[in-house]
Amino acid sequence: MQFPENLRYTREHEWILVRDHEATVGITDFAQHELGDVVFVELPEVGVPVSEGKAFGVVESVKAVSDVYAPVDGTVTAVNDDVRAKPELVNQDPYGGGWLVKIRLADPGQVDLLMTAAAYSEYTRGQET
């Protein structure tokens, strides 16, 4: 299970990568593994505001429908069209080609409240089904 050091993580198993005032968001390696084959991804349009802790999209595997929650407040600046066409990218490359949206941060300080890779690794231990 991979949890890159340069990302921050949520309790709902999203990751966020911040560069300047823009963040890229996806679901973690742990989340994609728990979901199994991802077959459908529903994402917001560019310009939509998102709120920390509120669902902004949906990832569906063969067996389950799973909301994706915004790690921070902000506005959607980009959406990964590739992952809409090829949802399996979420399984194959969760931190790369499987990214979901980019968000312009309303408050960069919110990111510091999220889990580090070490904390998230600890958090996921024992949660596997």
Partner 1 sequence: MVTGSLKRTPLYEEHRRAGARMVPFAGWEMPLSYAGILEEHRAVRTGAGLFDVSHMGVVELRGRGAEETCQRLTTNDVRRLRDGRAQYTLLLNERGGILDDLIVYRLESTRFVLCLNAANTDTDLAWIRNHARAETEVEDRSADTALLALQGPRAAQGLRPHVAETLMALPPFGCLETRMAGVSAIVARTGYTGEDGFELFVRADGARHVWTVVLATSPVRPAGLGARDTLRLEAGLLLHGADMDADTCPYEAGLERFVRLDSGPFVGRDAAVAAAREGTARRLARLLLRGAGIPRRDYAVTAHGRRIGTVTSGGLAPVLGRGIALAMIERAHAAAGTRLAVEIRGRAVEAEVVDGPFHRLATA
Residues lying near partner 1 in the complex (CB under 8 A) are found at: 36-37, 39-40, 42, 58, 60, 62-63, 65, 129
| Phi, psi for 98 (deg, rounded to 5) | -95, 15
What's the closest the beta carbon of residue 116 comes to partner 1, in angstroms? 28
CB 72, min distance to partner 1, A: 23
Q: Please, which residue, 37 or 82, has the CB nearer to partner 1?
A: 37
12: exposed, middle or buried (C-beta count within 10 Å: 0-12, 13-18, 19+)?
Answer: middle
Q: Kind and range of the H or E element at 49?
A: strand 49-50
Closest to partner 1 by CB, 28 or 66: 66
Provide the minimum distance between the beta carbon of 41 and partner 1 in the complex, in angstroms, as a whole number.
10
Residue 76's alpha-carbon distances to 12, 47, 79, 110, 117, in angstroms, are: 19, 5, 7, 16, 24
Which residue, 10 or 66, is less far from partner 1 as judged by CB? 66
Phi and psi, residue 57, nearest 5° = -160, 180
Query: What's the min distance (Å) between Cβ of 83 and partner 1?
Result: 13
Q: In the complex with partner 1, which residue's Cβ is closer, 48 or 118? A: 48
